[in-house]
């Protein structure tokens, strides 16, 4: 009886673990590579991490889960960069798949952590799965993050989280200036309450604001918090194969993705209103 109960417990525990890690790409390593100019990809096969290289050290966007930090570090080092040269840490939004390891990275590198106001309580929280990391600079919509000639702009794109951030920057690709957009998240997760949400009353109008912002941004390089948003794997293969055009330059793919995600949001909102 005791053994049976323990077995049931074990099964239950492993089921929870599996459901929390249901996408194998989340933790699978992926080759670090140059996207364009001084912008590099150093994330896993789906959880995107970006590195912006400057003469005075690097900016890193996202950490992935704590267990993915060694994989990210390896990608940084395989590109010939120093993990310890990380000066500024940023996030897409305060969910564990993007910020879970941010406290570890901050401790490892001594970098300054900068987070959008609405996500600061979540990043500083020590609750289970939260990084409990001290935020050194609180960002507001439109704020700029600068390091040695590279400038990133923080666009508040809320809804998915209260401080969900879409990062933009201008990348110099051999004299051609490219607008990079790193989408924070336009997704309405299963279980999200869009109507009568007491903890987040403005959630639906925040999503509407997000789609207005995303549709207004000039875009060449289409990027985001998950590789799946922008077709990381296929575009990486195309980049490796060579050719005249950089496959990450994809304004029409960006527009189609944002339109599809807005449609999904509006459909879910209508469903919940009924
Ligand atoms: Zn998320």
pLDDT attached to residue 22: 67
How remote is the CA of residue 170 from the centroid of ligand 1, in Å?
25
* C-alpha 185 to ligand 1 mean position (Å): 7
Q: How far is the CA of 176 from the centre of ligand 1 (A)?
A: 32
CA of 95 to the centre of ligand 1 (A): 5
How far, in Å, is the centroid of ligand 1 from the Cα of 123? Answer: 13
Closest of 209, 214, 190 to residue 268, by C-alpha: 190
The pLDDT of residue 243:
81
Q: How much is the pLDDT for 11? A: 41
DSSP at 85 = G
Distance 1 CA to ligand 1 centre (A): 41
DSSP β-bridge partners for residue 33: 41
The rounded Å distance from CA 72 to ligand 1 centre is: 19
Ligand 1 center to 162 CA (angstroms): 11
pTM: 0.92
CA 258 to chain centre: 16
Q: 195 CA distance to ligand 1 centroid (A)?
A: 19
Task: Write out the chain's pLDDT in tens, 274 residues.
Answer: 344 444 444 444 443 444 445 689 999 999 999 999 999 999 999 999 999 999 999 999 999 999 999 999 999 999 999 999 999 999 999 999 999 999 999 999 999 999 999 999 999 999 999 999 999 999 999 999 999 999 999 999 999 999 999 999 999 999 999 999 999 999 999 999 999 999 999 999 999 999 999 999 999 999 999 999 999 999 999 999 998 899 999 999 999 999 999 999 999 999 999 9
Q: What is the C-alpha separation between 178 and 11, in angstroms, rounded?
A: 50
pLDDT the model gives residue 14: 40
Residue 38's CB: how many other CB atoms inside 10 A? 19
Q: How far is the CA of 267 from the centre of ligand 1 (A)?
A: 19
| Count of helix runs (H) and strand runs (E) in the chain | 9, 12
pLDDT at position 273, please?
Answer: 96
Q: Ligand 1 mean position to 113 CA, how many Å?
A: 19
Residue 6 CA to ligand 1 center (angstroms) comes to 33
Between the CA of 174 and the centroid of ligand 1 the distance, in Å, is 34
- Three-state secondary-structure class, residue 141: coil
The confidence score (pLDDT) of residue 21 equals: 55
Torsion of CA 72, 75, 81, 83, to 10 degrees: 20
Q: What spacing in Å lies between the alpha carbon of 164 and ligand 1's midpoint?
A: 9
- Rounded Cα distance between 113 and 136, Å, is 5
- CA 259 – CA 2 distance, rounded (Å): 54
Ligand 1 centroid to residue 225 C-alpha, Å: 8
Q: How far apart are CA 161 and CA 96, in angstroms?
A: 12
Q: Residue 202 gets which letter from DSSP?
A: T
Q: How far is CA 60 from CA 57, 63, 73, 146, in A?
A: 10, 8, 11, 12
- Strand order of the β-sheet with 33-36 is 33-36, 39-41, 50-54, 57-61, 86-90, 112-116, 137-139
Instruction: Give me ligand 1 centre to Cα 242, in Å.
Output: 33
Cα of 208 from ligand 1 centre, angstroms: 17
Closest to 28 measured CA to CA, from 13, 58, 48, 50? 48
Ligand 1 centre to CA of 11 (Å) is 27
């Amino acid at each position: 009886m005791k053994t049976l109960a323990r077995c049931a417990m074990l099964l239950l525990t492993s089921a929870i673990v599996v459901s929390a890690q249901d996408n194998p790409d989340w933790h699978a390593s992926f080759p670090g590579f140059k996207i364009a100019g001084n912008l590099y990809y150093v994330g896993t096969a789906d959880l995107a991490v970006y590195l912006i290289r400057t003469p005075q050290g690097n900016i890193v966007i996202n950490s992935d889960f704590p267990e993915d930090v060694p994989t990210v570090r390896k990608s940084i080092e395989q590109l010939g960069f120093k993990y310890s040269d990380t000066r500024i840490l940023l996030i897409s939004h305060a969910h564990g798949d993007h910020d879970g390891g941010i406290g570890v990275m901050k401790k490892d590198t001594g970098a300054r952590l900068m987070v959008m106001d609405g996500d600061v309580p979540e990043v500083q929280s020590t609750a289970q799965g939260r990084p409990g990391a001290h935020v050194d600079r609180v960002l507001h919509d439109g704020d700029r993050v600068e390091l040695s000639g590279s400038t990133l702009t923080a666009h508040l794109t809320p809804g998915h989280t209260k401080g969900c951030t879409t990062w933009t920057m201008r990348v110099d690709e051999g004299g051609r200036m490219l607008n990079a957009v790193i989408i924070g998240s336009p997704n309405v997760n299963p279980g999200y309450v869009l109507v009568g949400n007491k903890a987040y009353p403005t959630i639906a109008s925040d999503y509407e604001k997000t789609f207005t912002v995303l549709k207004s941004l000039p875009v060449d390089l289409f990027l985001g918090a998950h590789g799946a948003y922008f077709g990381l794997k296929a575009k990486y293969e195309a980049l490796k194969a060579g050719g005249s055009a950089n496959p990450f330059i994809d304004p029409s793919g960006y527009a189609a993705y944002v339109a599809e995600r807005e449609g999904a949001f509006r459909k879910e909102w209508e469903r919940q209103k009924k």
